[in-house]
């Protein structure tokens, strides 16, 4: 297996993570209809790009802090990881407190994000609940999850270095199983229990990236074609079905049935709990998208690499910047049903974030 092939696969991860992040930004902004809903699904499908964002983050961390530092003392990786976890925790806390204080000043604004701490003005209670991860607000809640997961990553790397990857997997599944069923109304607070499964599975894959890539490339052409020939049509079929259930309410004759079926089946694809049905569907969809981005990496890189690569390589920076842009854009810009207006607003938001990346705005302060 050539080194170039492994490098190309890593570049594929950058492109794919950049795409996932674009979809997350557009769905958080939620200025629809805009035309972008045909590539975002408005976060209503039975699996989302957010799961892929976390899985790739685990894979990349497994590569750069696991595999690449395997021959160095674990203390080196541990120091870097704990520093990173602390940075993300502080960034999360500052953003939550900042957005809450601003929100209290504009409580009557129709664009304010729901879920703000009440009663307004109870600042020290709000600060305490933020610092203890009992309260989240704004558009940077993923930083909380990353801070928690990265804090425990040194222990996972210690087990991986001892070739105990299955211990990491078993522990991760055990923690995932602690999420209550059915999910409570405040299930988003318990997301660390479920979403860590994506991150640490990614960490395992990233740590063994070379072996996994070598295993795939050593399969016969027939086996690889058969595998791709199964997962790609399955992805297409389930994507169409998921979209029909989510958006087909207006179809004459079957619209009412589609809507009721969607409502009745959403619980088995709950985004907070991540039940097996959603995880299975996501795994197939992710494998298909990874293959597509790997297979067509040259045209994707040629036409979209200018934005996908910088977004993918600076993902947490982009994610943090997007929290500011979307929060204030929602307060300032009125909502509309005009698709062209929503398209302009959505495109402008992406443009502002892209310019922040290109000109490295506050990049020395905001975690990358």
- Tell me the pLDDT tens digit for each residue of 254-291: 999 999 999 999 899 999 999 999 999 999 999 999 99
pLDDT, average across residues 329-350: 97
Within a domain: 9:
yes
Domain count, the chain: 1
What per-residue confidence (pLDDT) applies to 187? 84
Span 144-161, average pLDDT: 98
Q: Indicate whether 106 belongs to any domain.
A: yes
Residue 189: exposed, middle, or buried by beta-carbon count in 10 A (0-12, 13-18, 19+)? middle
244 domain-assigned: no
Mean per-residue pLDDT over the chain, rounded: 94
pLDDT band at 353 (very low <50, low <70, confident <90, very high): very high
Is 233 inside a domain boundary? no
Query: Which DSSP category does 67 fall into?
Result: I
Residue 240 included in any domain = no
Note whether residue 47 is domain-resident.
yes
What per-residue confidence (pLDDT) applies to 9? 52
The length of the chain is 368
Alpha helices (runs of H) in the chain, residue ranges in sequence order: 3-29, 37-40, 49-61, 74-105, 123-131, 142-161, 165-176, 191-207, 209-218, 221-247, 255-265, 276-295, 297-313, 315-332, 339-358
pLDDT band at 3 (very low <50, low <70, confident <90, very high): very low
Domain-located, residue 273: no
Asked, for residue 144, whether it belongs to a domain, the answer is: yes
- What mean pLDDT do residues 71-82 have? 97
Is residue 10 very low, low, confident or very high in pLDDT (cuts 50, 70, 90)?
Answer: confident
Whole domain around residue 144: which residue ranges?
3-219+280-358
Q: Are 58 and 199 in contact (CB under 8 A)?
A: yes
pLDDT of residue 83: 96
Q: How far apart are CA 112 and CA 328, in angstroms?
A: 9
pTM of the predicted structure, to 2 decimals: 0.95
Structure tokens at 51: 């799961």
Cα separation, 280 vs 349, in Å, equals 33
């Amino acid at each position: 297996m050539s080194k170039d092939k492994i490098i190309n696969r890593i570049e594929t991860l950058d492109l794919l993570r950049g795409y996932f992040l674009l979809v997350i930004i557009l769905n958080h902004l939620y200025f629809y209809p805009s035309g972008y809903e045909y590539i975002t699904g408005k976060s209503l499908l039975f699996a989302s790009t957010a799961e892929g964002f976390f899985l790739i983050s685990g894979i990349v961390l497994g590569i750069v802090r696991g595999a690449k530092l395997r021959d160095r003392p674990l203390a080196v990786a541990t120091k870097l990881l704990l520093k990173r976890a602390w940075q993300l925790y502080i960034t999360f806390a500052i953003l939550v407190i900042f957005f809450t204080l601003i929100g209290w000043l504009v409580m009557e604004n129709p664009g304010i994000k729901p879920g703000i701490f009440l009663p307004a003005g109870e600042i020290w209670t709000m600060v305490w609940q933020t610092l203890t991860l009992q309260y989240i607000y704004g558009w940077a809640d993923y930083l909380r999850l990353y801070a928690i997961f990265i804090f425990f990553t040194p222990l996972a790397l210690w087990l991986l270095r001892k070739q105990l990857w299955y211990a990491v997997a078993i522990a991760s599944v055990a923690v995932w199983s602690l999420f209550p069923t059915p999910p409570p109304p405040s299930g988003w607070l318990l997301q660390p229990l479920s979403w860590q499964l994506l991150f640490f599975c990614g960490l395992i894959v990233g740590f063994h990236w070379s072996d996994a890539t070598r295993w795939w490339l050593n399969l016969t052409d027939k086996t690889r074609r058969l595998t791709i020939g199964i997962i790609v049509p399955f992805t297409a079929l389930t994507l169409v079905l998921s979209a029909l259930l989510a958006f087909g309410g207006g179809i004459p004759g079957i619209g009412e049935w589609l809507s009721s079926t969607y409502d009745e089946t959403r619980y088995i694809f709950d985004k907070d709990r991540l039940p097996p049905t959603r995880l299975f569907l996501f795994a197939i969809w992710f494998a298909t998208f990874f293959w597509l981005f790997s297979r067509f990496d040259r045209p994707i890189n040629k036409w979209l690499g200018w934005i996908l690569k910088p977004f993918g390589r600076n993902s947490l920076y982009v994610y943090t910047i997007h929290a500011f842009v979307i929060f204030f854009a929602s307060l300032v810009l009125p909502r509309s049903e005009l698709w062209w207006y929503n398209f302009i607003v959505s495109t402008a938001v992406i443009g502002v974030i892209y310019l922040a990346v290109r000109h490295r705005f506050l990049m020395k302060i905001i975690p990358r």
